[in-house]
Amino acid sequence: MVPPPSARPLLPHPTRANLPSPLQQGVGWLTRKIIRMSTITLTINEYIDDSKHTHIDIAQTVTGGISGTTEKRTLDWQLRTHKDGIFGECKGRSRWIKVEDLEEGPDKEWLSKGWLDEDGGDHVQSWVENEVNGWTAEQVS
């Protein structure tokens, strides 16, 4: 069985001035207020299919048992579309990766620093884009 990915808090880097605000991401005022006052529970299911690809399914439930968005990530780096209840139509991809194998770019240094594992273990890299609202997000966990 593949070990679960390492995790670190998903906080914006303090020197990153180019991060889009929730409004720029297409999230309205009322939705932001409701999210801020809610408790969100994540139910995460990780499994490997017959093709040996790891899947991570993340179901979100909001206060009161209200179903939220379900993200289905297949760690094969294939681009897939996803209709998100908050962010709208997105496309993204995910894969297993070693931090030292991250592609060169403006975020490589920030994404590759501060990990507790010194053995060069595998991490999950996720990339998502929303063309309508003009933003992209990259996450390594």
Bridge partners, 92 (sequence order) = 80, 128
Q: Give yes or no for a contact between 90 and 130, defined as CB atoms under 8 angstroms apart.
A: yes
Residue 129 has pLDDT above 70, yes or no: yes
Q: How confident is the model at residue 29 (pLDDT cuts 50, 70, 90)?
A: confident
Asked whether residue 18 is assigned to any structural domain, the reply reads no
Residue 22 has pLDDT above 70, yes or no: no
Domain count of the fold of the chain? 1
47-78 residue pLDDT tens: 999 999 999 999 988 887 777 788 899 999 99
Pair of tokens at residue 25: 């991401």
70-126 residue pLDDT tens: 889 999 999 999 888 777 889 999 999 988 888 888 888 888 888 876 666 789 999
Asked whether residue 116 is assigned to any structural domain, the reply reads yes
Name the one residue in this structure whose structure tokens are 């808090």: 9
Sign of the four-CA dihedral 22, 69, 85, 102: positive
Global pTM?
Answer: 0.71
pLDDT reported for residue 106:
80
Average pLDDT over residues 26-42: 77
Asked whether residue 125 is assigned to any structural domain, the reply reads yes
Asked whether residue 21 is assigned to any structural domain, the reply reads no
Pair of tokens at residue 114: 């501060």
User: Can you tell me the distance from the alpha carbon of 98 to that of 125, in angstroms, rounded to the nearest whole number?
Assistant: 9
Cβ-based neighbour number of residue 3 at 10 Å: 8
Residue 21 has pLDDT above 60, yes or no: no
- What is the residue range of 80's domain? 29-140
Asked whether residue 12 is assigned to any structural domain, the reply reads no
